[in-house]
Amino acid sequence: MKLLIACFSAEHGKTLKIAKDAALALGADLFEIKPERVYTEADLNWKNPLARCNREKFGNRDVPVVGRIEGFDEYDAVLLGFPIWYGGAPNVVNTFCKGYSWYGKRIAAFATSGGSGIGKTAERLRPFVAGGELLDARLVHNSLELEAWVRDIL
Ligand SMILES: Cc1cc2nc3c(=O)[nH]c(=O)nc-3n(C[C@H](O)[C@H](O)[C@H](O)COP(=O)(O)O)c2cc1C
């Protein structure tokens, strides 16, 4: 099985660290989902109603991503990693997903959070990976937990 891990991470690099360690352990390829315009600390200050994160979220905006994955069609399974933002995947992850055909792929999503549960993350993500089989989404705290889960479901 050819596995890709596609991961977005912003605040502390927490989600990316887990993704990198898991990619090594699982022999997966890793693609970092980077927004064309890097997030500054002010951009991420959700306490400010005018901050970029709030404008993107509440304006339902697309967030363009740097680069493209060559040979995306060859992957059997894709793990999507991201921090929970507003109870689900950040807009940049949705924009990333819109750029590819998910037909026939097995997909699982993992997330870190500041305390929220996984909530409706899977349901909210599902329309963006239409055609693929989104198995589940779950919170993870370290790469060992992620690796064990992936071996179990994929
Ligand atoms: C714009 C924004 C929205 C967030 N929304 C939530 C949320 O709804 N629930 C939660 O528990 N944490 C929330 N967080 C916190 C992140 O999920 C948490 O800090 C995450 O582990 C950061 O991962 P990273 O270092 O990979 O970016 C939010 C953070 C930001 C910047």
Q: Per residue in 103-149, pLDDT tens?
A: 999 999 999 999 999 999 999 999 999 999 999 999 999 999 999 99
Domain count, the chain: 1
Q: Which two tokens stand for residue 4?
A: 């890709």
Q: Which atom of ligand 1 is nearest to the CA of 51?
A: 1
pTM of the full predicted structure?
Answer: 0.98
Residue type at 75 in one-letter notation: Y
Split at pLDDT 50, 70, 90, the class of 74 is: very high
Domain assignment of residue 16, given as a range: 3-153
Taking CA atoms only, the protein residue closest to ligand 1 atom 31 is 44
Q: Which residue has the tokens 């055909």?
A: 101
Q: Which atom of ligand 1 is nearest to the CA of 8?
A: 26
* Per-residue pLDDT tens over the stretch 84-115: 999 999 999 999 999 999 999 999 999 999 99
* Pocket, ligand 1, Cβ cutoff 6 A: 9-16, 44, 46, 53, 83-87, 112-116
Check which CATH number belongs to the domain holding 146 and give it: 3.40.50.360
- β-pairing, 133-139 vs 29-32, is unpaired
